[in-house]
Amino acid sequence: MEMWNKFRSSVMLTLLCASPALAAEKVYVYNWTEYIPEAVLEQFTAETGIEVVYSTYDSNETMYAKLKLVKKDGYDVVFPSTYFVSKMGKEGLLQPLDHLLLPNGKALDARLMDKPYDRGNVYSLPYMWGSTGIAFNSSVIPDGEVIHWQDLWNPVYKGKLLLQDDMREVFHMALKIQGHSSNSTDPKEIEAAYLMLKDLMPNVLLFNSDSPRLPYLAGEVNVGMIWNGEAWMAQLENEDIRYVYPSEGANLWVDSFVIPRSARNPKNAHAFINFMMKPEVAKICVEENGYATPVTTALPLLEERVRNSLTVFPTTEILDNGEFQTDVGDALPIYQQYWEKLRTGN
């Protein structure tokens, strides 16, 4: 009898403790890894009293699948790439932003606003933009040996490459080499790219989108793809890591703030987004993570070496040579089909 009572009371007690905390205000942020410095989140909580519950993903597809799964008690702020903003917007997964709650949005670079993937910025505001290029360790591979995407196909790199675990970015390489648009919707062009990528697969050691710079820093990988911000962070620890904008054209992308329709705390979400667009906050993000910010008022605040860094802020020439990633509409499943083949059939 005593045992039973003990069981009962301990179960009750623990179940009581388990009931959701009624106390603090929260905001559930779902973001790419290594994209917001810890200090920034703490500053937000200090200023607003809202606790940030932070989780991460390493690909748009994982984020999208998760969002579909947690329809009810979901996330409040998410950071999809451009083509996912339009996809999710069309499918009704996002709620329109209340721009009255986002006054800091007025300082955003007009060149990144009102884009085809979200006309009128109904659902999104740009958070950070950057590029994907080639990284190599100059103490192992001499400067100038890898300057084209095509160079990665060199059989001397068999089993040595790191590639992003990102479908569009990997296809970008092949499409650019073959002279097509990175946003191609032509099934023949996509197929040609796939066939070219099949030949690349033996060169790949690993796919990594969590923290691509770490294998370079650990000496496991000496050449491959990388995001410019990751290269920037790597260079802070090892100056031998170089970042190259490939001659065929770098992949240029933008990640945006969105609020899912199922968000539990939309007010807190808006507060968070507004906070992130403050110039002092944007400055910290750029200096720590190495990506470019659309917050124009942050640019004068940046340290010299950051402002002058080619890795963080490419020249207009490089931008013109590269291509911004955007929606491919109904061609997306074609890419997905080939991508799965590459990932499993290699």
The contact set with another protein (CB under 8 A) reads 1, 3-4, 7, 10-11, 14-15, 17-18, 20, 28, 30, 33-34, 51, 53-56, 58-59, 61-62, 64-66, 68-75, 91, 163, 201, 204-207, 210-211, 214, 218-220, 333, 336, 340-341, 343-346
Query: Would you say 51 or 109 has its CB closer to another protein?
Result: 51
Query: Would you say 90 or 111 has its CB closer to another protein?
Result: 90
Q: Is the dihedral of CA 133, 139, 140, 144 positive or negative?
A: positive
Q: How far is the CB of 321 from another protein (least distance, A)?
A: 29
On whether the CB atoms of residues 134 and 223 are closer than 8 A, the answer is yes
Q: How far is the CB of 43 from another protein (least distance, A)?
A: 13
Query: Would you say 63 or 298 has its CB closer to another protein?
Result: 63
Provide φ and ψ at 24, rounded to 5°: -65, 150
Query: Would you say 121 or 289 has its CB closer to another protein?
Result: 289
Distance, in Å, from the CA atom of 307 to the CA atom of 296, rounded to the nearest integer, reads 12
Query: Would you say 56 or 181 has its CB closer to another protein?
Result: 56
Region of 20 (left: φ > 0; alpha: ψ -120 to 50; beta: rest) is beta
Q: How far is the CB of 298 from another protein (least distance, A)?
A: 25
Query: Would you say 71 or 111 has its CB closer to another protein?
Result: 71
Q: How far is the CB of 11 from another protein (least distance, A)?
A: 5
Q: Is the dihedral of CA 275, 280, 283, 287 positive or negative?
A: negative
Residues 6+ apart with CB under 8 A from 255: 32, 35, 79, 80, 81, 126, 127, 128, 129
For tokens 């790597």, the residue is: 234
Task: Say how far residue 321 (Cα) sits from the centre of its chain.
Answer: 21
Query: Would you say 90 or 106 has its CB closer to another protein?
Result: 90
Closest by CA position to 227, among listed 252, 194, 256: 252
Query: Would you say 33 or 297 has its CB closer to another protein?
Result: 33
Q: How far is the CB of 14 from another protein (least distance, A)?
A: 5
Q: How far is the CB of 37 from another protein (least distance, A)?
A: 13
Q: How far is the CB of 83 from another protein (least distance, A)?
A: 15
Residues 6+ apart with CB under 8 A from 335: 167, 168, 171, 190, 328
Alpha-carbon torsion angle 84, 85, 89, 90, nearest 10: -50
Q: How far is the CB of 314 from another protein (least distance, A)?
A: 26
Closest by CA position to 28, among listed 257, 255, 264: 264
Q: Is 322 helix (H, G, I), strand (E, B) or coil?
A: coil
